[in-house]
Amino acid sequence: MVELKTDTSIDAMYEAGQVVARGLTAVREAADVGVSLRELDEVAHAVLREAGATSPFLGYRPSFAPTPFPAVICASVNDAIVHGIPTAYRLRDGDLVSIDFGAQLGGWAGDSAITFTVGRPRPADLRLIDTAERALAAGIEAAVVGNRIGDIAHAIGTVCREAGYGIPDGFGGHGIGRQMHEDPGVPNEGRPRRGMPLRHGMALAIEPMLITGGKDGYHAAPDGWTLKSNDGSRAAHVEHTVAITEEGPRILTAR
């Protein structure tokens, strides 16, 4: 069931989204060679505490997970696509890092992700990040009243495939509101003019995931959470929470 949000509710979701935006900005600024993923998690945790917000990630346990998630960020490095657990791993020169972060404030959720490099970047990583951001922008541009979920999926998939990247099958965006994960699902590839019509008041987390090697395969790491590319290819993940309005898409997690 899809809950249509009022304009007042969308404003409240914006406040939650801005906590997420501040957290991701703080984590990006703190990330450097030698900094551990757990230290980045504490940076994000401090942002939540300062805002009086809570984490929809911490303690979250979907059906596939062997244990509740132990942190407030997902930190996925190099060949990790999504859901990386922050560990004692210390960032190295040239690492490719994806950070996913959420916040719950006033009964509403926000969710967003960024990918960046640490130290000296590889040109291939910069191209991957640029493509991921273009795919996200294309998906958001398609998130307008009168379009359908398939139009978002098609826009994202077209950018990714034309650039030669793989797309993890079965993972994508989702509805968001009072809970972090709500209906509908938002695939990262699909056919235009198919799926649920987009209406004023819908809120979606749109999140392209790209694999450099051009193949779609992935597997779960031993921790049961982290998804990694099958061939060791590096990956990127970017995301925004977006409200569908008559005036056009409103990015609630804009930084």
Q: How would residue 200 be classed by pLDDT, with cut points 50, 70 and 90?
A: very high
Q: Averaged over 56-68, what is the pLDDT?
A: 94
Alpha-carbon span 41 to 25, nearest angstrom: 13
Q: How would residue 64 be classed by pLDDT, with cut points 50, 70 and 90?
A: confident
Which pLDDT tens digit goes with each residue over 172-193? Answer: 999 999 999 999 999 999 999 9
Which pLDDT tens digit goes with each residue over 217-244? Answer: 999 999 999 999 999 999 999 999 999 9
Alpha-carbon span 108 to 20, nearest angstrom: 12
Alpha-carbon span 47 to 53, nearest angstrom: 8
Say whether pLDDT at 67 is over 90: yes
- What local confidence, expressed as pLDDT, does residue 98 receive? 99
- Residues of each annotated binding site for a divalent metal cation: 100, 111, 174, 207, 239
Alpha-carbon span 195 to 204, nearest angstrom: 14
Quick check: helix, strand or coil at residue 252? coil
Angle between helices 123-141 and 149-162 (to 10 degrees): 160
Alpha-carbon span 52 to 239, nearest angstrom: 23
- What local confidence, expressed as pLDDT, does residue 42 receive? 98
Q: How would residue 155 be classed by pLDDT, with cut points 50, 70 and 90?
A: very high
Which pLDDT tens digit goes with each residue over 97-149? Answer: 999 999 999 999 999 999 999 999 999 999 999 999 999 999 999 999 999 99
Read out DSSP for 115-148? EEE-SSPPHHHHHHHHHHHHHHHHHHHT--TT-B
Which pLDDT tens digit goes with each residue over 71-104? Answer: 999 999 999 999 999 999 999 999 999 999 999 9
Say whether pLDDT at 201 is over 90: yes
Q: Averaged over 7-18, what is the pLDDT?
A: 98
- Residues of each annotated binding site for substrate: 83, 181
| Ordered domains of the chain (ranges, CATH) | 7-251 (3.90.230.10)
Alpha-carbon span 64 to 224, nearest angstrom: 8
Say whether pLDDT at 4 is over 90: yes
- Residues of each annotated binding site: 83, 100, 111, 174, 181, 207, 239
Q: Using an 8 Å Cβ cutoff, are 83 and 223 in contact?
A: no
